[in-house]
Amino acid sequence: MAIERKQIDLTPLKNANVPIFFIVGGPGSGKGTQCERIVNKYGLSHLSSGDLLRAEVQSGSARGAQLVKIMEAGELVPLEVVLDLIKEAMVNEVKKGSKGFLIDGYPREVKQGDQFESEIQPATLVLFFDVSEDTLVKRCLKRAETSGRCDDNIETIKKRLATFNNATAPVTDHYEKKHKLVRIAAEGTIDEIFSHVTPHLDRVFGSNQKVAASA
C-alpha cells in the first residue's frame, strides 16, 4: 500500500546534535507514563510514534484513513510513514529549542531503528520497560475504560502483544549487543519504576536539573 512520503529538511536537527532516547516496551508497559515523569524532571521533548499516528488519523487525511486500518489490526504501519512523522515532529521541536528527545514506542523493528540512526543520528540510550504479558493485558484493559483508543480492546491487545513478541522483542537484543540497552523492571508502582530510570538519565544530564532550553 503506497502511503504518501514527505521530504523533510533535517539540517536544524542534525546541527542541534541533542541526545535521543528510544523508549521501548510492550503495549501498556508504561512508556507514556514514564515519559511524562522524565519530561517533568529533565524537560526533554516526548514524541510518541503511536500518538503521532493517532493525530494523523484524527486529522482526517487520506493517509490517516489508510493507517487506522493497520493500527486497528494491531499490526505495524509502514516504517517510512512513522519515520516521516517523527522527523517532522523532531525538526519542529528543535526549532523551539528542544534539548533532547524521548522517542516513545520506537523502534518496533530492528530495521526501523537502523534506518532512524543512519538518517538522523544514533540513539544515546534505549530504555526498555520489561513487563509480564499478564500485567500488560490488565493495564491496557484498565486503560480501555477511559482511553477511547481504537486498539484498547482484548482482540487488538492480543494482536499487539504478538506483534511485539515477533517484531519488537529482537530490538532489545539488537541494542543489548550495542551496549545501549537499559532494561527497567516495570511491574511495580510508577514511582518505583521511575526511581530505576533516573540514575541512567542523570549519568547523561547530571542529577536534579532540568536540561535548560537554549536561550
Ligand X SMILES: Nc1nc2c(ncn2[C@@H]2O[C@H](COP(=O)(O)O)[C@@H](O)[C@H]2O)c(=O)[nH]1
Ligand Y SMILES: Nc1ncnc2c1ncn2[C@@H]1O[C@H](COP(=O)(O)OP(=O)(O)OP(=O)(O)O)[C@@H](O)[C@H]1O
Is there a contact between 123 and 117 (Cβ–Cβ < 8 Å)? yes
CB of 46 or CB of 160, closer to ligand X: 160
Smallest distance, Å, CB 128 to ligand Y?
11
Tell me the C-alpha distance between 13 and 5, whole Å: 19
Is 54 annotated in some ligand binding site? yes
27 binds ligand X (CB under 6 A): yes
Number of neighbours of residue 74 by Cβ within 10 angstroms: 19
32 binds Mg ion (CB under 5 A): yes
Is 160 annotated in some ligand binding site? yes
Backbone angles phi, psi at 43, to 5 degrees: 70, 30
CB of 51 or CB of 202, closer to Mg ion: 51
CA dihedral 142, 145, 151, 155 (to 10 degrees): 70
25 binds Mg ion (CB under 5 A): no
DSSP states of 55-110 = HHHHTT-HHHHHHHHHHHTT-PPPHHHHHHHHHHHHHHHHHTT---EEEETB-SSH
Is 29 annotated in some ligand binding site? yes
Interface ranges with ligand Y (CB under 6 A):
25, 27-33, 50, 105, 139, 142-143, 189-190, 193
Smallest distance, Å, CB 136 to ligand X?
11
Smallest distance, Å, CB 212 to ligand X?
29
82 binds ligand X (CB under 6 A): yes
* 25: partner contacted, choices ligand Y, ligand X, Mg ion, none (Cβ within 5-8 A by kind): ligand Y
Is 33 annotated in some ligand binding site? yes
Is there a contact between 150 and 72 (Cβ–Cβ < 8 Å)? yes
- Residues of this chain that interact with ligand X (CB under 6 A) are 27, 48-50, 53, 70-71, 74-77, 79, 82, 105-108, 112, 151, 160
Which residues are annotated as part of the binding site for ATP?
Answer: 28-33, 143, 188
